[in-house]
Amino acid sequence: MWFGWSGEVRPREEVRTHNLQTSSQAYVVRDLSEEDFEEFYSGFANRVLWPVLHYRLDMAEFNRRELNGYLRVNQNFAEQLSKIILPDDLIWIHDYHFIPLGEQLRKQGHKNRIGFFLHVPFPAPEIITVLPQHERLLNALLQYDLIGFQTERDVQNFVRYVIAENPGHKVFQATERHIVLDHCGRQIRVGAFPVGVAPRPFERCASRATNTAFVQDVVKSLNGCAMVIGVDRLDYSKGLTQRFEAVELFFSRRPDWRGKVAYLQIAPKSRSEIPEYRELGEVLASMAGSINGKFGEPSWTPIRYVNRAYGRAALAGLYRAARVGLVTPLCDGMNLVAKEYVAAQDHEDPGVLILSRFAGAALECRAAILVNPYDLESVANAIGQALDMPLNERRDRHHELFATLSENNNHDWGSRFLNSLRELEIIGADRNPWLQLASAAGPLQG
């Protein structure tokens, strides 16, 4: 059963909980009131937690009212969830929107095995302690039985925080994959569970999509130019302004590629109710216009910048058609665009992935060209290196990357987490189907 936000925002008196059923999945979803959306989602979750967890303290706006709204919504969701939990259900809660949800369920007497997974980075203790009342919020994580992060770096940052703030806690290694914290006589398992993709199915999807009218029209419009592609939600954590500056530097340094390569940046707008996001869109539009004005010709546009969202198949086809995938976030929990770009490639003539070393995916994608997104010259040079790279080297890099992705696919990710949660239970106990708590990031999104 999937439980989460319905995606609807209504006046408080019209807020409802909805039960939905498909052929394979049950959903219980709840609306948010206008006040809850502003304080919980737009407020504390995305104007405080998101920037702090991504090391952007300069973007965080602390407000006690919004913290209260965040805690209130988690309590309300826990009350609704309590009505449908069975004593032997497994519960899997996702992401920073719902950090206190497990604690609220414990307060209502639920002793179920509850796991939590953070999809975004967990920063160093020196950063996370900037949060007002960080103890109140992050100690709620100690009510879970299993806490999962994207990378070992995130695990170590969390353990360091717990030790620094609670010196009496005992920490020991349980297995190669897990650390155990002893908290008030309870053992809490902590581990890295990097999210994967389904490389073979995505590869087949990309191969089919190259024959669609949409992808063929894009390729035809390039007039023989190679394509560099970036696909990111419009967010300041993605390093888009720095990326545009690096592309400008590349064209300045490599005039031999002018008229021979075009950069396509797809950046669907998100969280437009937050001023910083609207301003970012305006800045990028201005930068794209400036770069095109500086280098462009009547027959060639250096940067194509669009704010539309495209479907999975369309993106897969564009990835496959692109000579270079440019993925340079300033900070990212994982970044599945990088993995999807690799999965989409033609094994015989693959493109090259340029990846920020500050994305969680960089810990697996060692065969990519890893760059520091703050170092514009490094990124500009990497674009040239990728475009100049001979076929044999491109094949070798892609072979290594694809093999790595195949070892950690999306199905294995979910299975590893749930199996780890089940291992904590009494061996041989009969279990009902598990409940999954979805992120409040959007309607019906895991």
Strand duo 17-21 + 26-33: pairing: antiparallel
- Band the pLDDT of 47: cuts 50, 70, 90: very high
Extract the tokens encoding 400.
């290594």
Cβ atoms within 10 Å of 226's Cβ, excluding its own:
17
Phi, psi of 178, rounded to the nearest 5 degrees: -130, 145
Please name the helix (run of DSSP H) or strand (run of DSSP E) that holds residue 245, with its range, or none.
helix 240-253
State how far the Cα of 284 lies from the Cα of 301, in Å rounded to an integer: 16
Handedness of CA 207, 194, 58, 68 (dihedral sign): positive
Extract the tokens encoding 256.
């031999």
Is residue 174 over pLDDT 80?
A: no
pLDDT at residue 357, as a whole number? 97
Matching fold, domains 2-195+409-437 and 199-407: yes
At 293-303, the pLDDT tens digits run 999 999 999 99
Mean pLDDT of 139-158: 95
Q: What angle, rounded to 10 degrees, do the helices at 275-295 and 240-253 form? A: 10
The percent of residues in the chain predicted with pLDDT above 90, rounded, is 82
Mean pLDDT of 363-368: 97
- Band the pLDDT of 425: cuts 50, 70, 90: low
Handedness of CA 175, 179, 182, 187 (dihedral sign): negative
pLDDT at residue 423, as a whole number? 85
Cβ atoms within 10 Å of 403's Cβ, excluding its own:
11
**Secondary structure class of 262 (helix, strand, coil):** strand
Residues marked as catalytic: 119, 332
Strand partners of residue 12:
none
The CATH number of the structural domain formed by 2-195+409-437 is 3.40.50.2000
At 196-237, the pLDDT tens digits run 999 999 999 999 999 999 999 999 999 999 999 999 999 999
Tell me which fold the domain 199-407 belongs to.
Answer: Rossmann fold (3.40.50)
Q: Residues 6 or more apart from 298 whose CB is under 8 A from it?
A: none
**pTM over the 0.75 mark:** yes
Beta strands in 316-356 (DSSP E): 324-327, 352-356
Extract the tokens encoding 403.
């093999």
Residue 114 or residue 424, greater confidence: 114
State how far the Cα of 80 lies from the Cα of 213, in Å rounded to an integer: 46
Mean pLDDT of 428-438: 44
DSSP character for 59?
Answer: G
Phi, psi of 373, rounded to the nearest 5 degrees: -65, -20
Strand partners of residue 17:
30
**Which has the closest alpha carbon to 247: 393, 341, 373, 362?**
373
- Which single residue is written with the structure tokens 């809850």? 36
- Band the pLDDT of 416: cuts 50, 70, 90: very high
Question: Edge-to-edge, what's the strand order for the sheet holding 352-356?
Answer: 303-306, 261-266, 226-231, 324-327, 352-356, 369-371
Strand duo 170-173 + 178-183: pairing: antiparallel
Rounded-to-10 torsion of CA 180, 183, 186, 188: -30
365 with 404: CB under 8 angstroms?
yes
State how far the Cα of 321 lies from the Cα of 315, in Å rounded to an integer: 10
Domain boundaries, the chain: 2-195+409-437, 199-407
Is residue 89 over pLDDT 90?
A: yes
Q: Residues 6 or more apart from 392 whose CB is under 8 A from it?
A: none
Cβ atoms within 10 Å of 273's Cβ, excluding its own:
12
Mean pLDDT of 331-359: 97
pLDDT at residue 424, as a whole number? 77
pLDDT at residue 428, as a whole number? 32
**Which has the closest alpha carbon to 50: 239, 332, 266, 281?**
332
Mean pLDDT of 335-346: 98
66 with 43: CB under 8 angstroms?
yes
State how far the Cα of 252 lies from the Cα of 272, in Å rounded to an integer: 33
Least confident interval from 54-68, 265-279, 284-298, 346-360: 265-279
AA identity, residue 432: N
**Which has the closest alpha carbon to 424: 80, 114, 185?**
114
At 1-43, the pLDDT tens digits run 999 999 999 999 999 999 999 888 899 999 999 999 999 999 9
Residue 168 or residue 191, greater confidence: 191
